[in-house]
Amino acid sequence: MPRAVVTGGAGFLGSHLSETLLARGWDVVAIDNLSTGSLGNVAHLRDDPRFTLLEHDIVQGIPLDGPLAGRVDAVLHFASPASPPAYLARGIETLEVGAIGTQHALELTRANEGARFLLASTSEVYGDPLVDPQTESYWGNVNPIGPRSVYDEAKRYAEAITMAYHRTHGLDTHIVRIFNTYGPRLAPGDGRVVSNFLTQAIRGEPLSVYGDGLQTRSFCYVDDEVRGLLALLDAPYHEPVNIGNPDEFTVLELAELVHEVTGTTTPIVHEAIPVDDPRQRRPDITLARELLGWAPTVDLVDGLERSYSAYLAAARG
Amino acid sequence: MPRAVVTGGAGFLGSHLSETLLARGWDVVAIDNLSTGSLGNVAHLRDDPRFTLLEHDIVQGIPLDGPLAGRVDAVLHFASPASPPAYLARGIETLEVGAIGTQHALELTRANEGARFLLASTSEVYGDPLVDPQTESYWGNVNPIGPRSVYDEAKRYAEAITMAYHRTHGLDTHIVRIFNTYGPRLAPGDGRVVSNFLTQAIRGEPLSVYGDGLQTRSFCYVDDEVRGLLALLDAPYHEPVNIGNPDEFTVLELAELVHEVTGTTTPIVHEAIPVDDPRQRRPDITLARELLGWAPTVDLVDGLERSYSAYLAAARG
């Protein structure tokens, strides 16, 4: 049975990834310090004997004994605060997990000859992009000293050190640049727009739109995202690959769809736009299509409906 | 007597900085792992009882006992491989000192209440810039996964974590973006163009020009650079400040000046241009002029003459 280590395995993406790996016959060790992840995200996996949750901060190192004794076939490095409010409140911690945590995950891979490594990078490496859509060859437009740099620069550093381990040690590394992803278990009120809106709709609160709401986003349903990044893990390709949904919506359009899907009509309130909030972010997924034969299949209304059902069920307890 | 810690204190810039601090009445503890620094750079300081060299790798932590027991008033963080051949040969080490080394230097500052911190950042954070000259507000054009990213992204991360310590802990931090600096003790053959040319001229070898030689550089004499960055250490300002010489020369023009100053006429040979070699790099120093009243005073011919004399003396032993 192949065995995977998922750092951040009790987070939104990490928990979906663990679930999919288990369904595909992997053993999974999830490592999480529960800083932004939660036990609730993996509650449904804890009875599976092939799933282990190790509550641990990978910045302190990754022990090669205990649950990690024995062969590891793949290391999927997803540990990091990922929503702006979460990383802005944990600036130094976010920098540390991007640099030191990534290096520890690379060293774990290196300790297992032939193991594969996947870095969860992000569209944030493109910053506030000057080209649209963004291809992987775009170098980005990131403010190195702005408040968001604790995340953006940490992820750019993580890409750089991943490539350095590939070049220096011949490690079988992969880098996925993840665009806006949503779905069940995206923490309510974590500050990302889909979870904000769904939570507000359920509570009967107004939908908060930052700025004029004309900034655009592309939203990828989590099942599509996980399928894409697992395809990348199998590919003989080491440079970054965008995995995201290129369908573009303004934040106001999303608000309307949330009204439609939830059958609510709470008003929209405009709030101050955060510093360095990108105007636009949309993946060019030509590379993923050609390299992996991957494309998203869940449209936004369908994905919002699935998410809304899950949020309702969770709200009911 | 105020006391400064200079990481990378046995390097080119670090040794000049230590020398100037001693001359201004500071005690100096230089920390260097001698990876690219050398004992020769500080040989002339070792008899000064106010100078201590601690041979140590700051990535492993900075001990608060031994030479560092007692009050530290300023931490000047200059440790890093800095020339392309040096950092390309030490990719992971360069990333580590940029991230982990910087954090250890910040923690040393934090352990000394009221102490000041200066990060040696670099014009490399601008990458291959799309604007000319570069002001501090330019976000840069850096390839996060290219070979040079081990240096560029490490320095961008270093800026981000420096700002995070300022914002989170109120640390009195300063960031200097150093442009091409040259002068005595710039390691011969370290791959930077002024030291390359002077060394080649002295040896009677052809001057090696990468590509067509029409890429431009601005060269700052080391005394000007050190004077500028020490002025910044005193300023109530926490965002990055360019310190460099805005006079622009093509690499071919520099080669001619080297011929002139050295009285040699060795031919020019063109070699392959390195990956992601910037076409142009030139500081806008308006901020340094206004904030610090600083401007460079040594012109290129003068600086080349001083450097040439020092190189000749060193070559004679």
CA-based Rg of chain A, rounded to a whole angstrom?
19
Q: What is the pLDDT of residues A55-73, one digit of tens each?
A: 999 999 999 999 999 999 9
The answer on pLDDT for A194 being more than 80 is yes
Task: Pick the catalytic residue from A87, A126, A151, A311.
Answer: A151
Phi and psi for B194 in degrees, rounded to 5?
-65, -45
Phi and psi for B219 in degrees, rounded to 5?
-120, 125
Nearest CA in chain A to B162: A145
Contacts of B100 in chain A (CB under 8 A): 99-100
Mark which residues 101-130 of A lie under 8 Å from B by CB: 103, 125, 127
Q: What is the pLDDT of residues A151-192, one digit of tens each?
A: 999 999 999 999 999 999 999 999 999 999 999 998 876 778
Q: Which residues of B are catalytic?
A: 151
Rounded Cα gap, residues A188 and A204, in angstroms? 14
User: What's the pLDDT score for residue B317?
Assistant: 67
CB spacing of B91 vs A140 below 8 angstroms: no
ipTM of predicted complex? 0.95
Mean pLDDT throughout A74-103?
A: 97
Say if strands A216-218 and A248-250 run parallel, antiparallel, or are unpaired. Answer: antiparallel
User: What's the pLDDT score for residue A190?
Assistant: 75
Q: Beta partners for A3? A: A27
- Give the confidence band of A237 by pLDDT, cuts at 50, 70, 90: very high
Rounded Cα gap, residues B1 and B25, in angstroms? 7
The answer on pLDDT for A279 being more than 70 is yes
User: What's the pLDDT score for residue B24?
Assistant: 98
Residue reference for tokens 């020092």: B310
Short-list A192, A291, A283, A303, CA closest to A243 = A283
Mark which residues 238-277 of A lie under 8 Å from B by CB: 239-240
Type and span of the H or E element at B291: helix B286-292
The answer on pLDDT for A278 being more than 80 is no
Contacts of A100 in chain B (CB under 8 A): 99-100
In tens digits, chain B (317 residues) has pLDDT values of 899 999 999 999 999 999 999 999 999 999 999 999 999 999 999 999 999 999 999 999 999 999 999 999 999 999 999 999 999 999 999 999 999 999 999 999 999 999 999 999 999 999 999 999 999 999 999 999 999 999 999 999 999 999 999 999 999 999 999 999 999 998 876 778 899 999 999 999 999 999 999 988 899 999 999 999 999 999 999 999 999 999 999 999 999 999 999 999 889 999 998 877 777 789 999 999 999 999 999 999 999 999 999 999 887 86
Rounded Cα gap, residues A195 and A208, in angstroms? 11
Best of A153, A176, A238 to mutate (most B CBs within 10 Å, chain B): A153
**3-state SS, one letter per residue, for chain A:** CCEEEEECCCCHHHHHHHHHHHHCCCEEEEEECCCCCCHHHHHHHCCCCCEEEEECCHHHCCCCCHHHCCCCCEEEECCCCCCHHHHHCCHHHHHHHHHHHHHHHHHHHHCCCCCEEEEEEEHHHHECCCCCCECCCCCCECCCCCCCHHHHHHHHHHHHHHHHHHHHHCCEEEEEEECCEECCCCCCCCCCHHHHHHHHHHHCCCEEEECCCCCEEECEEHHHHHHHHHHHHCCCCCCEEEECCCCEEEHHHHHHHHHHHHCCCCCEEEECCCCCCCCCCCECCHHHHHHHCCCCCCCHHHHHHHHHHHHHHHHHC
CA dihedral A130, A131, A134, A135 (to 10 degrees): -120
The answer on pLDDT for A317 being more than 70 is no
- Per the CB < 8 A criterion, the answer to whether A303 and A180 are in contact is no
Instruction: Please report, for residues A97, A222, B70, the alpha-carbon distance to residue A106 in angstroms, rounded to integers and kept in the order given.
Output: 12, 25, 38
Neighbour-count burial for A39-49, b at 16+ CB within 10 Å, e otherwise: eebbeebeeee
Residue B170: which region, alpha, beta or left (left: phi > 0; alpha: psi -120 to 50)? left
Rounded Cα gap, residues B296 and B229, in angstroms? 12
CB spacing of B140 vs A145 below 8 angstroms: no
The answer on pLDDT for A275 being more than 90 is no
User: What's the pLDDT score for residue A217?
Assistant: 87
Rounded Cα gap, residues B32 and B163, in angstroms? 24
CB spacing of A167 vs B91 below 8 angstroms: yes
Contacts of B145 in chain A (CB under 8 A): 159-160, 163, 175, 239-240
CB spacing of B156 vs A161 below 8 angstroms: no
CB spacing of A144 vs B125 below 8 angstroms: yes
Average pLDDT of chain A, as a whole number: 95
Q: How many CB pairs under 8 A join A and B?
A: 107
- Per the CB < 8 A criterion, the answer to whether B173 and B162 are in contact is yes
Q: B165 by DSSP, 3-state: which?
A: helix
CB spacing of B156 vs A153 below 8 angstroms: yes
DSSP B38: -
- Give the confidence band of A39 by pLDDT, cuts at 50, 70, 90: very high
* Tokens matching residue B227: 């004077």
Q: What is the pLDDT of residues B153-173, one digit of tens each?
A: 999 999 999 999 999 999 999
Rounded Cα gap, residues A164 and A162, in angstroms? 5
- Give the confidence band of A100 by pLDDT, cuts at 50, 70, 90: very high
Mean pLDDT throughout A64-91?
A: 95
